[in-house]
C-alpha cells in the first residue's frame, strides 16, 4: 500500500500524557494525525491520578496549616470540612484540564475520535462505531489500569478510579496495598480526619524507596494515627446489612470493620481486547507491550509508549517517550531517552522523594566502597508547630570518585527540593560540588550542602 493510501500518517490509541504529546509533536512535523480515546482526553494523570490527587493533598493539608495558624497569632474559628466542596472543585479542575488538552489537539489539527479503537492489522484500526481506518504508523498509548486481586467480596471495594467521586467522606477506611497510591491516600484520608488502616501482603511499604525513609514515614504516620497490618493478605470482604464492610485478613480472627475499602495493589497494562495479536505485537508476562529502545513493537509499523509498556510508570516518562517517538519517526531527529536517575516522589504526608541509587542498591553495586551522609533534622516549621516530626535527607556517594549516586529525602516540600537536586545527580556532580555550594539560610534545602 503506497503512503498516500493511508487515511493518516499516525493513528494514536489513547489520549493520555504520552499519546497527546506524540500526537501534537507528530502533527507539528507535518504528519496527518488522529487519536482515539474511549473515556476523556488527558489520561490517568489528569483525569484520575496525579493532578486530582495532588489537589486532594493540598486540600487535606489545610488541617495542619489551620492548626498551626494559632501559633502565629491567628484566631481560627470552628474548623469544618466539607468533602463535596473539595471533591467538586477538584472535579471541576479536571474538566478544565480535559478541555485544555482537547484544545491542544484541536490547535494542532489532530483529529479526535472519542470512542474505543482496536488494532485489526499492522496499519489498521477499527473504531467502536465500526468504522475502519488505516495509518502508516499506529501508536499504542492506552496506559494501565488498577489491578484488584481476586478475593470474595472484591466488588465491594473501590480503586483509585472511583476514589475521586466518593459521595461522602468515610469515617473508617481500609487501604489494601502499601505502594504509591495507598500511602498517598492514607495521608489524605488521615489528614481529613478518617480512621485509616493500611493492610499489605508483605511487611514492606513503598518497595524501592530508601529503607531509612520508609521507616521514617512509617513512624510518623503511625504517630499521626494510621494503623498498619503487614503480612496480611485479604481473605474476603463482607458487606453487612448496615452497609459497613468487613475486611477479613488471612490468619486474623477479627475482621476490620470500615466504611470504605480502597484497593491499591498496582496497575497493569491495559492491553486486553486491543487486537494486538492481529498485527503480531508481542506482549510480556504482565500484559505489557514489548518494545525496543525506540518504542517499536514486534510489528514494524506499531509503536507503544507510557504505562502500557510497563517500564517506568510515571507521567513525565510517558511524555518523553511520546515526544521522542514523534521526533524520531516524523521529525527525523534521533532522540534517545535516558532512564537513569529518574526522580520520583510519593505525596504522602510528609512526602518523600528520591533520585539515583538507594543505600542498599549502592551497596549491591559498589560493595563497601560508598559513603553515606545524612541529615536528621526537625524542620523549623515543625518546631514552631510543636510537632516532633523530623525530616531525613540521605546522600549516597561513590567513595572512589566522590560522585553523588543518590539523594533521598523525607520532610515538608521534599519533592520540590529533590527536583533541583536531581539535576546535580544526573549531571554526575560530586560531594565536593555540594560542599562548595553556600547554604541558603534558613531553608530545609540547605541540609543538602551541609552534610558532613
Ligand atoms: P505500587 O506498585 O506502588 O504498590 C502496589 C502495592 O500493592 C504494594 O504494596 C504491593 O505489595 C501490593 N500488591 C501488589 N500486588 C498485590 C497482590 N496481588 N495482592 C496484594 N497486594 C499486592 O502500586 P500502586 O497501585 O500504588 O501504583 C501504581 C503505579 O502508579 C505506581 O507503581 C507508580 O508507578 C504510579 N503512581 C505514581 C505516583 C507518583 O509518582 N507519586 C502516584 C501514584 C501512582 P508488595 O510491595 O509487598 O509487593
Nearest CA to ligand 1 atom 9: 178
Annotation marks residue 195 as catalytic: no
Of 331, 360, 384, the one marking the end of a domain is 331
Cα–Cα distance, 193 to 168 (Å, whole number): 13
Nearest CA to ligand 1 atom 3: 179
Q: CB of 266 closer than 6 A to ligand 1? A: yes
Confidence of residue 336 (pLDDT cuts 50, 70, 90): confident
* Grid cell digits, residue 357: 541509587
Mean pLDDT for the stretch of residues 254-272: 98
Q: What percent of the chain has pLDDT over 70?
A: 99
pLDDT exceeds 80 at position 449: yes
The CA radius of gyration of the chain, in Å to the nearest whole number, is: 24
Q: CB of 267 closer than 6 A to ligand 1? A: yes
Residue 94 phi/psi, 5-degree rounding, is -60, -40
* Cβ(342)–Cβ(317) below 8 Å: yes
Nearest CA to ligand 1 atom 31: 180
**pLDDT tens track for 198-211:** 999 999 999 999 99
pLDDT exceeds 80 at position 2: no
Residue 344 counted as domain residue: no
Burial (Cβ within 10 Å: 0-12, 13-18, ≥19) of residue 402:
middle
pLDDT of amino acid 406: 98
Task: Based on the fold, state whether residues 197 and 258 are members of the same structural domain.
Answer: yes
| CATH number of residue 227's parent domain | 3.50.50.60
Q: CB of 265 closer than 6 A to ligand 1? A: yes
Residue 107 phi/psi, 5-degree rounding, is -60, -25
Q: What is the 3-state secondary structure (H, E, C) of 183-206?
A: HHHHHHHHHCCCEEEEECCCCCCC
Cα–Cα distance, 71 to 64 (Å, whole number): 12
Q: CB of 286 closer than 6 A to ligand 1? A: no
Task: Based on the fold, state whether residues 296 and 258 are members of the same structural domain.
Answer: no
Task: Based on the fold, state whether residues 277 and 137 are members of the same structural domain.
Answer: yes
Nearest CA to ligand 1 atom 33: 313
pLDDT of amino acid 55: 98
pLDDT of amino acid 99: 97
Q: CB of 201 closer than 6 A to ligand 1? A: yes
**pLDDT tens track for 373-388:** 999 999 999 999 999 9
**pLDDT tens track for 425-437:** 999 999 999 999 9
Residue 338 counted as domain residue: no
Task: Based on the fold, state whether residues 58 and 107 are members of the same structural domain.
Answer: yes
Cα–Cα distance, 295 to 337 (Å, whole number): 10
Task: Based on the fold, state whether residues 308 and 175 are members of the same structural domain.
Answer: no
pLDDT of amino acid 354: 98
Q: CB of 202 closer than 6 A to ligand 1? A: yes
* Cβ(10)–Cβ(136) below 8 Å: yes
Sign of CA dihedral 107, 111, 115, 118: negative
Nearest CA to ligand 1 atom 25: 266
Confidence of residue 114 (pLDDT cuts 50, 70, 90): very high
pLDDT exceeds 50 at position 255: yes
Nearest CA to ligand 1 atom 46: 207
Residue-wise DSSP of 166-189: -SS--SEEEEE--SHHHHHHHHHH
**pLDDT tens track for 319-332:** 999 999 999 999 99
Residue 99 counted as domain residue: yes
Cα–Cα distance, 114 to 206 (Å, whole number): 36
Burial (Cβ within 10 Å: 0-12, 13-18, ≥19) of residue 259:
middle
Task: Based on the fold, state whether residues 272 and 260 are members of the same structural domain.
Answer: no
Calculate how far, in angstroms, residue 191's C-alpha sits from the geometric centre of ligand 1: 21
Task: Based on the fold, state whether residues 121 and 10 are members of the same structural domain.
Answer: yes
Q: Please report, to the nearest 10 degrees, the dihedral formed by the alpha carbons of residues 42, 46, 48, 51 taken in order.
A: 180
pLDDT exceeds 80 at position 3: no
What's the length of the chain?
452
pLDDT of amino acid 237: 98
pLDDT of amino acid 156: 98
Calculate how far, in angstroms, residue 180's C-alpha sits from the geometric centre of ligand 1: 6
Cα–Cα distance, 369 to 399 (Å, whole number): 5
Task: Based on the fold, state whether residues 120 and 219 are members of the same structural domain.
Answer: no
| Minimum-distance ligand 1 atom for the alpha carbon of 264 | 25
| Minimum-distance ligand 1 atom for the alpha carbon of 346 | 41
Of 212, 236, 265, the one marking the end of a domain is 265
Task: Based on the fold, state whether residues 135 and 173 are members of the same structural domain.
Answer: no
Q: Which of the listed residues 147, 176, 266 should we mutate to test ligand 1's pocket, taking the one with most ligand atoms within 8 A of CB?
A: 266
Q: What percent of the chain has pLDDT over 90?
A: 97
Q: CB of 346 closer than 6 A to ligand 1? A: yes
Q: Which domain holds residue 167?
A: 154-265
Of 265, 294, 319, the one marking the end of a domain is 265
Q: CB of 317 closer than 6 A to ligand 1? A: no
Task: Based on the fold, state whether residues 323 and 379 are members of the same structural domain.
Answer: no
Residue-wise DSSP of 112-144: EE-S-EEEEETTEEEETTS-EEEEEEEEE---E
| Minimum-distance ligand 1 atom for the alpha carbon of 203 | 47
Q: CB of 347 closer than 6 A to ligand 1? A: yes
State the chain's maximal CA–CA distance in angstroms: 75
CA angle (418, 451, 216) in 5-degree steps: 60
Task: Based on the fold, state whether residues 128 and 168 are members of the same structural domain.
Answer: no
Nearest CA to ligand 1 atom 34: 313
Question: Which residue in this structure is represented by grid cell 530545609?
Answer: 444
Cα–Cα distance, 297 to 278 (Å, whole number): 13
pLDDT exceeds 90 at position 1: no
Question: Which residue in this structure is represented by grid cell 514523534?
Answer: 326
Confidence of residue 269 (pLDDT cuts 50, 70, 90): very high
Task: Based on the fold, state whether residues 176 and 195 are members of the same structural domain.
Answer: yes
Cα–Cα distance, 190 to 121 (Å, whole number): 49
Comparing CA positions, the residue from 445, 391, 143 lying closest to residue 267 is 143
The count of domains in the chain is 3
**pLDDT tens track for 386-413:** 999 999 999 999 999 999 999 999 999 9
Calculate how far, in angstroms, residue 403's C-alpha sits from the geometric centre of ligand 1: 31
Residue 401 counted as domain residue: yes
Sign of CA dihedral 70, 72, 73, 75: negative
Residue 343 counted as domain residue: no
Amino acid at each position: 500500500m503506497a503512503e498516500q493510501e493511508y487515511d493518516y500518517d499516525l493513528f494514536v490509541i489513547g489520549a493520555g500524557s504520552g499519546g497527546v504529546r506524540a500526537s501534537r509533536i507528530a502533527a507539528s512535523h507535518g504528519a496527518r494525525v488522529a487519536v482515539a480515546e474511549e473515556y476523556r482526553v488527558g489520561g490517568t494523570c489528569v483525569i484520575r491520578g496525579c493532578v486530582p490527587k495532588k489537589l486532594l493533598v493540598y486540600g487535606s493539608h489545610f488541617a495542619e496549616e489551620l492548626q498551626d495558624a494559632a501559633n502565629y497569632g491567628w484566631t481560627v474559628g470552628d474548623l469544618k470540612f466539607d468533602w463535596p466542596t473539595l471533591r467538586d472543585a477538584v472535579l471541576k479542575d479536571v474538566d478544565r484540564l480535559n478541555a485544555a488538552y482537547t484544545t491542544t489537539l484541536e490547535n494542532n489539527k489532530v483529529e479526535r475520535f472519542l470512542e474505543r479503537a482496536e488494532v485489526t492489522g499492522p496499519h489498521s484500526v477499527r473504531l467502536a462505531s465500526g468504522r475502519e481506518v488505516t495509518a502508516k504508523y499506529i501508536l499504542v498509548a492506552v496506559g494501565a489500569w488498577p489491578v484488584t486481586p481476586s478475593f470474595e467480596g472484591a466488588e465491594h471495594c473501590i480503586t483509585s478510579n472511583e476514589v475521586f467521586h466518593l459521595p461522602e467522606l468515610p469515617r473508617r477506611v481500609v487501604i489494601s496495598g502499601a505502594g504509591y497510591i495507598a500511602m498517598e491516600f492514607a495521608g489524605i484520608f488521615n489528614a481529613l480526619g478518617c480512621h485509616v488502616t493500611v493492610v499489605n501482603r508483605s511487611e514492606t511499604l513503598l518497595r524501592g524507596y530508601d529503607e531509612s525513609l520508609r521507616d521514617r514515614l512509617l513512624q510518623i504516620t503511625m504517630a499521626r494515627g494510621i494503623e498498619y497490618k503487614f503480612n496480611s493478605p485479604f481473605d474476603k470482604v463482607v458487606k453487612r446489612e448496615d452497609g459497613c464492610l468487613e475486611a477479613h485478613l488471612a490468619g486474623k480472627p477479627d475482621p476490620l470493620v470500615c466504611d470504605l475499602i480502597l484497593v491499591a495493589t498496582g496497575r497493569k497494562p491495559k492491553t486486553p481486547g486491543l487486537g494486538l495479536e492481529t498485527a503480531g505485537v508481542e506482549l510480556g508476562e504482565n500484559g505489557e507491550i514489548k518494545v525496543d529502545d525506540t518504542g517499536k513493537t514486534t510489528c514494524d509499523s506499531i509503536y507503544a509508549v507510557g504505562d502500557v509498556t510497563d517500564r517506568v510508570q510515571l507521567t513525565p516518562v510517558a511524555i518523553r517517550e511520546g515526544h521522542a517517538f514523534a521526533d524520531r519517526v516524523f521529525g527525523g531527529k534521533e532522540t534517545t531517552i535516558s532512564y537513569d536517575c529518574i526522580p520520583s516522589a510519593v505525596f504522602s504526608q510528609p512526602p518523600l522523594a528520591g533520585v539515583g541509587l538507594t543505600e542498599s542498591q549502592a551497596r549491591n553495586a559498589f560493595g563497601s566502597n560508598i559513603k553515606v551522609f545524612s541529615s536528621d533534622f526537625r524542620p523549623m516549621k515543625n518546631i514552631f508547630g510543636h510537632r516532633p516530626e523530623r525530616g531525613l535527607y540521605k546522600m549516597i556517594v561513590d567513595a572512589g570518585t566522590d560522585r553523588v549516586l543518590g539523594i533521598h529525602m523525607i520532610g515538608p516540600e521534599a519533592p520540590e527540593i529533590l527536583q533541583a537536586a536531581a539535576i546535580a545527580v544526573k549531571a554526575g556532580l560530586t560531594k565536593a560540588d555540594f560542599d562548595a555550594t553556600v547554604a541558603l539560610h534558613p531553608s530545609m534545602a540547605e541540609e543538602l550542602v551541609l552534610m558532613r
